[in-house]
Amino acid sequence: MVNELMELDIGLAAGDIWRYLVENGNSSTIKIRINLGISNTTLYLALGWLLREGKINIALTDYSYKISLK
């Protein structure tokens, strides 16, 4: 039950990140996290979800990661 709830939360966060990128374009992980009000853990789990699905690109910048849609 706990794993199912975590998977649901991460999937919903992935959807929120996807919509954020559609509406706002490329963004840093910091901006995404702050604007969506999610934890670092949820952010990176959801980014992993989207990356595994082949929906995003991740590029390392000076102090963060830049996220863009494929």
pLDDT per residue as tens, the chain (70 positions): 668 888 999 999 999 999 999 999 999 999 999 999 999 999 999 999 999 999 999 999 988 899 999 9
Q: Which domain holds residue 53?
A: 2-69
Looking up residue 10, the CATH number of its domain turns out to be: 1.10.10.10
To 5 degrees, how large is the angle CA 57–CA 59–CA 64?
125
| Cα–Cα distance for residue pair 11/32, rounded to 1 Å | 15
For residue 34 the two structure tokens come to: 């702050």
User: Which segments within the chain are labelled E, that is strand?
Assistant: 27-28, 56-60, 65-69
Count of Cβ atoms closer than 10 Å to residue 30 Cβ: 13
How many distinct structural domains can be found in the chain? Answer: 1
Model-level pTM? Answer: 0.92
Give the residues across from 66 on adjacent strands: 28, 59
